[in-house]
Amino acid sequence: MNEELYTALLVKSLSGNASKDERTLLEAEWESNERRLREFEELKRLWEVTGEYEGDVEIPDTDIAFSRFESVAFNGQGKRDAVIRPLWVRVASIAAVALVLITALMIWNDGAQYDTVDMVSVTSEEMKKMQLPDGSVIELDEGSTITYSLPFEQREVTLEGRALFDVQHLDEDSPFVVFSKGTRTTVLGTVFTVDAIDGKKVAVYVEEGKVAFESNDRSEHVLLTKGNQGSWDDQTRTIEKSEIDDTNIMSWQSGILNFDNERMEAILPDLERHYGVRFTVENEEILDCTYKAIFEHAEIEEILDELGFGLNLEFNQTSEGYFEIAGVGCK
């Protein structure tokens, strides 16, 4: 998540004005960024200590305020004591940041024109096609959220979930960046999909053009072209590049699942990705079974019923979204 958007959401959270979706975005950011989580906890503590302020708001000069704080904190000794007591330096830094955030909150609450966060949230019952201010078109999967700030000069968005991007090409100095679960995808103008449905992975599929896919710290990075896919694993902190070899990659958009004598080993991951479910098998030989069928806008129960009948399998739901498969299997 870029710094401008993160700061805006942080101020709203500290002031109690963050929506449920905005809070979810922040929690996802803290989960992937331990440094920001620690800083938030310190800022929250300082924020609560300040209490409620009543009276006229005067926008402070942060340089003067920090100098005053320093003179009191170091008992008039200034920076000479910083080496001896480094903890005070940290506290002073946090206090200065808190002062800036408090100022931002005052401005935020004083005038709606300073609220620059534009959030679009898609419910789990729908898909949404939308156009960004730069002319780029996004198709969001159900339950996904896209976030960006206005004015849209930096062309940066944060994605939770899955979306197809058709990016408008502007110029070499105006890249389009998608942040999602510890990764950043950068393009100038192209068509690609970012899939962050899986809690520990992010995948990028390129239909047209070139895409730079990398971790936020840029320790891992690959260049993807038409027909390529990149996969980020949050546990191993690595990115793998390969050719797209799954005809059902875009099934979430088309609603069509096409299995042409595919093995269950390939069918099950497609169903998991499409419906957001998980499968476990009692007998590994079940994965060797093959099936041929085309499903259009089918419910998961319809598909499982057909697979169960055709392959003599039992799909037992153990909990919401989790299924256990039993059967003899195929050799």
> Which CATH number do you get for residue 270?
3.55.50.30
**Residue 132: Cβ within 10 Å count:** 19
Q: Please state the pTM of the whole predicted model.
A: 0.59
Q: Which of 114, 147, 172 is the last residue of a domain?
A: 114
Residue with tokens 């992010």: 202
Assess whether 221 and 273 both reside in one domain: no
Extract the tokens encoding 101.
Answer: 């955030």
Bridge-based pairing state of the strands 228-233 and 221-225:
unpaired
Cα 196–199–202 angle (5° rounding)?
35
Domain that holds residue 19: 3-114
Domains: count for the chain: 3
Assess whether 137 and 235 both reside in one domain: yes
Q: Which of 177, 209, 243 is the last residue of a domain?
A: 243
Encode the chain (331 residues) as per-residue pLDDT tens digits: 666 677 777 777 777 777 776 777 788 777 777 777 877 777 777 666 554 444 444 444 545 544 543 443 334 444 434 333 344 344 444 445 555 554 544 444 444 443 445 555 554 457 788 888 899 999 988 888 888 887 788 899 989 889 999 999 888 788 999 999 889 999 988 899 999 877 678 999 999 999 999 998 888 889 999 999 999 988 889 999 999 888 888 888 888 999 999 999 999 989 988 888 899 998 899 999 999 999 999 999 999 999 999 999 999 999 888 999 998 888 7
Assess whether 228 and 264 both reside in one domain: no
> Residue 138 in contact with residue 159, Cβ under 8 Å?
no
Assess whether 95 and 124 both reside in one domain: no
For residue 195, the 8-state DSSP code is E
**Torsion, CA 73, CA 79, CA 83, CA 85, rounded to 10:** 0
Assess whether 46 and 69 both reside in one domain: yes
